Each structure stands twice: as structure tokens, then as C-alpha cells.
Structure 1
Amino acid sequence: MVKRAKAPPKRLRVRSKPPKVSPGELLTLLDFVRYAVSRFNEAKLTFAHGTTDPVAEAAFLVCETLHLHPDQFDTFATARLAAHEARSILEVIDRRVNSGKPAAYLVNKIYMRGLPFYVDERTIVPRSFIGELLDSHFGGQDGEGPSLVDDPDAVEDVLELCTGSGCLAILAARAFPNAQIDAVDISRDALAVAARNVGEHGLQDRVMLHRGDLYAPIANRHYDLIIANPPYVDAEGMAGLPPECRAEPKLAFDGGADGLDVVRRILDQASHHLKSEGGLLCEIGRCRSALEAAYPQIPFLWLDTEESEGEVFWLAAADLQTP
């Protein structure tokens, strides 16, 4: 019997009364970023939703409020703001400090691999390492490293499990231009967000959304590639989630006592849904030790990214066959 970790006392965030700042005191985009970083540091915010530090998050919020792409920040960094723009930025900074919500929910936007996606409280804020791996290890936009598939153009069928907002399914459609993508989630709310993103990226004919529990909606179909970013937070991690993560759907985090409840089901059934030359790409966070202990006979190939090490594995279909 696995004992669940005792929940630590919840970290309460005290709502701070915003300081009185005249829009005229802060002039440029850089001024507002510096001010936001000071507020964020004072409030001890958590950054794990597309940005990893207060400077990046402040720049993201400033750009979104001004309807600028993040890549345009440097161009306008020293530009002065109109009074109404300044008021809007101060308002969103106050909301970020006091709401306990991820920045992406406040502006209904997140970027993955340079592409914009809609997001709201109905789905987890996407921040998967798999997006980078589709480019770096599958002949995608980077296409310079070793590829785990012989020819991305030859990939015909991709299944994404636990799709959430649909971002990875859309990135898979970009990485594999001739593939049809089946994207599955158990949450009706999440699929509503995914449908919006699929429509906004014009992929209604290539990305099919299915509601159901993992493989159930796709019956006996077989795929060249299965992608999964399932819930994988263990009991101890769930007890210590920061306020920003508690604002997201619990269903998208909770992986059971050891974090592997859903991962096990994906692994145990994957061979029944992969073509002979196919493979499984799955993100599991910090569960590597537990997974390798649970499946000592399986030769997991661990793929690193710029910001992760040993949090995503690849398995060829042949490695999933039981002896």
C-alpha cells in the first residue's frame, strides 16, 4: 500500500493593494516590464506556464496587452505608451499578482513553438516539452538532429492522447504535413477549447477531436505515432501545487499516488494501436525512476530538451511487444 504524502499547509497569497502609480511615471515598455518584475518578485509568484521567470512573464503580458507578438518586444522596447495603454498594463499586472491565476488565463493566449493558441480555465495551460521534440527529433522545423522517423512526409496517422487545448495535435500536423491526427481527451470542456484552436489554425480537415478515455474512442485503429502528455503529478506533488496550478483543472495533473496511473494504461495498450514501424512519445515529468522500476524490461529512450532532462521517453513499437 502506497502512503499518500501529508499535505503541507497551503501557501496563502495575501492580496496586495496596488501601489498608486501614475501612468506618466512609467513611460516605455521596458519601464512597465521592470515595474511588473518588481511586483511579481514581491508577491513570490510561480512561473511555469509558458514562461519560466518574471522577466519573460512581464514581457509576455505587456506585449499581449498591446497586441504585439512577443518577437516584436525588442523593436518597441523603448517606445512610449499612451495613457490608456499604460492603464491597461497596470490593470493586468494587478490581476496577475492578486488573482492567483496563470498569465495565460488573463490574456487567453499562450505561444508554443512560436504559434499562438487560445486558452482559458477549461483546460490546462499547455507547456509540453514534446513541441520542441517534434521539431528536433522528427525532422520538423529544426530538422538538423537525428530523426526518430525515416521520413516525416510518410507519416500518415498520428494519435494524441490527453490533448487538452489541442496544441500538440496542431504542432504534429505541422511536423507531419501528410498525416491525419486523431486527438482524444476525456474532458468535454477541454475539447471545446481544442476545437477553437483547430479552427483558428485551419486544420478541421486534418485534426479530428474525440471525447473519451484514452484509446476507447478510436477502437482498433493503428498509428505511425502516438503522442501523450498525460496527468503525471504524484500525490506529494498534488499536495504542494502552487496557486497558479490550483487554478487549472485538477484532472489534467493528478496521476495517482506515484504519478503513473494514466501512464501505465497508455503503455500497456500502446502496442495494440501502433503500426509495426511506429512509436510512442510520452511526457512523464519527474517520474523516470518510478517508471523504470515499474517496467525494468522496457528499453526507454529518454529525450532531452533545452529545459528538461529525462522527462520524455520514446519507445518503438517493437520495444513494446511482450516477450
Structure 2
Amino acid sequence: MTDTYNYDDVKPVQIRSDEPELCQILYDDEYEHTMGILLALMRDKEYSERALHITEQGIELLASHYTIWYYRFEILTTLNKNLFDELDWVEQIALENQKNYQIWNYRQLLVEKIIESGADFSPYREYPLLGEMLEEDVKNHHVWSYRKWLVERFDLFHAPKEVSFVNSKIDEDVRNNSAWTHRHFLLFGKPSLVDETLVNDEVEYVKMKIELCPQNASSWTYLLGIYRRAKKPLGELHEFCLQFANGMAESESTADTDESQDKAEVKSSFALEMLARIYVEQKEIAKAKRAYTLLADKYDPIRKNYWEYQKSVIV
């Protein structure tokens, strides 16, 4: 409703076309009236209390309307409003619109403006909201992206609170790829903080998680990412991978025969893929082809064409 302020002098912008349309949007009267006034004020660049009020009404009707969010930001800064109060107001909108990207972009604008003004701002102020959002949906991409922005903006790389948080999310669900991705950015996103001790500790950490759940793409991808970033030879993982594909060790002497395929015992297709990578790196072509054949024919046939391609390009 718009009756808190008077808008009688405003001629609403017409948002419904008079021309016939193939797929015409049927706006209800409230939406058409509110948006019409809002767009008229926006067009005239009016930065007033009544303009601020109607942006709230517009956001309640369509929270994904990016232009309204930016117009509201311009009004707030022009009127020199308390942006901490605005952050509090946005929290409820965020909780009611879990998948809305615009809210998080708007929140970044507010935080940057607060910092620009010289006010003290703690990134940990955001943690309760982020925690509540991730309780609702632990893989909410927009929330994780905002958390990544906080890490980068406030130099929270390796911050104990953040490490503890991501540990808890992985402990809750070791298959949470969002948590693994955040962990990699948190610990490896600032090269100056990466050393041999960190790399070795993370290798042991992820190995422990793989042992709990061998058929988990997220942890194997994380392990591969560590080795690539540290430029470590994958051959170091040979014995570890054989724990989950122990038939490979028994039949390496017979390489690509039917008998060796029968002996293979594979608990993790990702371990088998890693072995294939190791064999390619070590120029053990027959073993690499055998691993890809097992993936294509038995352990990951849904991607058979991909594995056959990988086998075909081995040189």
C-alpha cells in the first residue's frame, strides 16, 4: 500500500502495453499502481522519504528487481540514512527470499559505503545471518558467494573463526561441495600464506575425509586441487588410491587383459580416475588405459564416451 505518503502529483508510468502481445503479463492492480509510481519517481530522480517508502513496497512485490534496489541505495545515501539500520532491514528480506542474488549485491554496496564513511564495520556482524541462511539451505550459492566476498574484502584468509565454520560444515556433510570450495579459497586463496606445512596438513585432512566416504567427488577434487596448486607429483598418492581400487595392484602385471579386469575391486571410481592420472603422468600407458577401460565399462559407464576419449588421447 502507498497511503503513508501522498503521490497524487505523480503520474504513474504505464507498465502494461496497449498493443496486443503474444504472451502478455497480467499484472494485478496493486503491482501496476505501485510500480507505476515507483518508475515515475525513479525517472524523475526524486530522492525523498516518499520515494524511499515506495521502494520498500516495490521490493516486497518483486524482490528480484535490481533497479529498485539500486534506486533505494541512491536515496539512502542522498538522505544520509543510517546504513546499519538498512542492513538490519535487509536481513528479513533475505530470509524471505532465499535464492535472491540482488539482496547480496545490495548488501555489498551498503558495507562498502559504511567503510567509505569511516565507520567501524566488523565482518563478523554478518555471521548470524549467514549462519541462519545456511541452516535453511547449506548449499545456497548466493550465501557462499557473499561469504567468499567477506573473506576477500576483510582479509579473513586462514581466520580461525572461518576455518572452524567450514570444518563444521564438512563434518555435517562431507559431500557439501560448497563447503569444500570455500575451504580451498579460504586456505589457498592468498598465496603468501601457503607453505609446505599447510599443504601437507591439508593432504592428511582430505585423506581422512576420503576414508570416511570414498565415493565423494568433492573431496577427491579438493585433493587434486592441492596437488596441482603445490605442483606435487601425483605419484605420491599411488598407494593411497590403491586402498580404494586394490584390484589394480594385484593385476598390474597383467595390465589390460580380461583376467585383470575381473580381479579389480574398486570402492571409488574417483580413486580409479586418480590412478589413471598417475599412470599418465608416469608414462605407464597400458595401466592408464586399463583404468580408463574399467571406468568406461564398469565403474562409471554413464560417462563412457568421456573415458574412451581420455584413453584415446594418451600418448
TM over 0.5: no
Report the structure number with the largest CA radius of gyration.
2
TM-score (norm 1): 0.28
Q: Relative contact order (alpha carbons < 8 A, sep ≥ 6): 1 or 2 greater?
A: 1
Larger % of strand: which? Answer: 1
TM-score (norm 2): 0.28
